[in-house]
Amino acid sequence: MQKIIILDFGSQTTQLIGRRVRELDTFCEIVPYNKFPKDDPSVIGVILSGSPYSVHDPEAFKVDLTQFVGRLPVLGICYGAQFISNTLGGKVEKADSREYGRANLETVDTSNPLFKGFDQHSQVWMSHGDTITAIPSDFKVIGSTKDVKNAAFASTKQPVWAVQFHPEVFHTVQGTLLLKNFVVDICGSKQEWSAASFVDSTVAELKEQIGQDRVILGLSGGVDSSVAAVLLNRAIGDRLTCIFVDHGMLRKNEFQQVMDDYRVLGLNVIGVDASEKFFGDLAGVTDPEQKRKIIGRDFVEVFNAEAKKITDARWLAQGTIYPDRIESLNITGKVIKSHHNVGGLPKEMNLQLCEPLKWLFKDEVRRVGRQLGMPEHLITRHPFPGPGLAVRILGDITPEKVRVLQEADDIYIRGLRDYKVKLSGEEARRVLAAGVPADMQDGEIEVSLYDQIWQAGAILLSTVRSVGVMGDERTYENPVALRAVTSTDAMTADWAHLPYDFMARVSNEIINKVRGVNRVCYDISSKPPATIEWE
């Protein structure tokens, strides 16, 4: 299969480049800047990402351009553009002021294949501290803004292009068109990568890989493990056994609802209620990291005990997706973030690993789920932490605290699903690109608040008590904080600007209906510096 190689120089938006290329029905692979696959005949083009470094920093990442320049089409983005210019004889200097935010291309050479179909004055997004003050002698400028003369340039002798802006971000209005021009027209992609082709090829590969063996898969109720289960079920049928462990800290009625969904999908699922064990082991524990470790340990114990009953199993399947694997390694190949689905299997399980979604981004997982005919509420389900509500309760965990938080959270999430909003422009494009089904009418789409945001949940501040008045009585109860963020990949996130009338309605309902709560707050922290979860 044809592929685009994206060389990662450490940019926060490298994954976005990959997602945009995949949206063009073209397979791509993100590899560290120094790991270009020289002998891979399926590579049809190369993209150099941005970087947190200046090309003049002693520790700046460098690549030997002769590996692909002259052999394959090349596109440099931001640092990639500066590296190309600096290496091939141009000049890169520190800008008088950081060039960051929206800008408009005042001059665009639409005769150049990279800018075919572009509008004059098209909006782009800049984010760099250095700027290219001179381009190499055999290059020409093909795009400029008011402040950046060399915003885009191209070689007159070889298939090399470079842009100082970021076409992968939503704020660059015609960024997808630019990438399409490069990937499809310049590199010659046949656009053979799609949800349908992935399902067909993966089912065939799973049949070949697994043969007549039995597979065990741990379900969480989340989209990744659910899609992996349905995909495996299509390949091997009832030789897949799924195990869904209830640790007692799921959302209200979630265990039964998810079990019902899985049975409708025809999955062979074993549900295990282990809440008593988890609550007992968590009694009196307040340290967040200790809570996570106890839940992780108990989950493995419960899962392994159930898995051992399936004596003829040879494989363990996981819902590992591509970002899990990318985020677990930095561009030098060292682990910077451990992930529960990355790092191998416990030796005592004596099983082989099966990861049918390991090449997919989250939005692709959702497209595959729709291709498989899964219900929409399972596909669009927000990310939910493995330890569940345990890391959304500050302080120790008790069944009563979980009950209180379940009730508050249920009111909040139902409210987000019921409240409809109309979106246009960048917001509409972002939601549609995430795979949310919506019809565009007069430039607008209507979606629920739930579908507009990346993740939401309620947090019980059980270590804090606040005074209140209900009726003629004084109360001294716990506050609940509400959290909702917008994001594309959870690596960065901004707080969602929810409508005031919605916030008033939800706050009023929580305080009136949930005994033990007398105050509701809203978290307006972005990530960074905060995180999405509180613990």
Q: Which residues participate in catalysis according to the annotation?
A: 78, 166, 168
Question: What single-letter amino acid sits at 128?
Answer: H
H or E stretch covering 175: helix 175-180
In degrees, rounded to 5, the angle at the alpha carbon of residue 37 between the alpha carbons of residues 35 and 42 is 150
The CB-side HSE value for 338 (13 A sphere, CA atoms) comes to 3
* Residues facing residue 244 across a β-bridge: 219, 271
- Listed residue (355, 353, 361) closest to 323, CA to CA: 361
Element (H, E) at 422: strand 420-424
> What are the angstrom distances between the C-alpha of 167 and each of 32, 113, 173, 295?
20, 15, 8, 42
Rounded CA gap, 69 and 223, in Å? 40
Neighbour-count burial for 505-522, b at 16+ CB within 10 Å, e otherwise:
ebbebbbeebebbbbbee
**Which run of H or of E encompasses 133?**
strand 123-134
Q: How many CB atoms lie within 10 A of CB 216?
A: 22
The dihedral over CA atoms of 338, 78, 359, 306, expressed in degrees to the nearest 10, equals 20
Per-residue three-class SS string for 252-283: CCHHHHHHHHHHHCCCCEEEEECHHHHHHHHC
Quote the CA–CA distance of 294 and 292 in Å, as a whole number: 6
Contacts of 163 (CB under 8 A, 6+ apart): 75, 76, 77, 78, 81, 114, 124, 143, 151, 152, 178
Helices (DSSP H) in 339-480: which residue ranges?
362-371, 376-379, 399-418, 425-433, 449-452
Written as one string, the DSSP assignment of 54-97 is -TTSTT-----GGGTBTTB-EEEETHHHHHHHHHTT-EEEEEEE
Structure tokens of 414? 């139902």
Q: φ, ψ for residue 255 (rounded to 5)?
A: -60, -50
Name the DSSP class of 342: B
Give CA 106 to chain center in angstroms.
Answer: 33
Q: How many CB atoms lie within 10 A of CB 153?
A: 29
DSSP state, 414? H
**Backbone angle region of 258, left / alpha / beta, with phi > 0 → left and psi within -120 to 50 → alpha:** alpha
| Cα–Cα distance list, 435 to 110, 184, 209, 417, 534 (Å) | 30, 22, 30, 17, 28
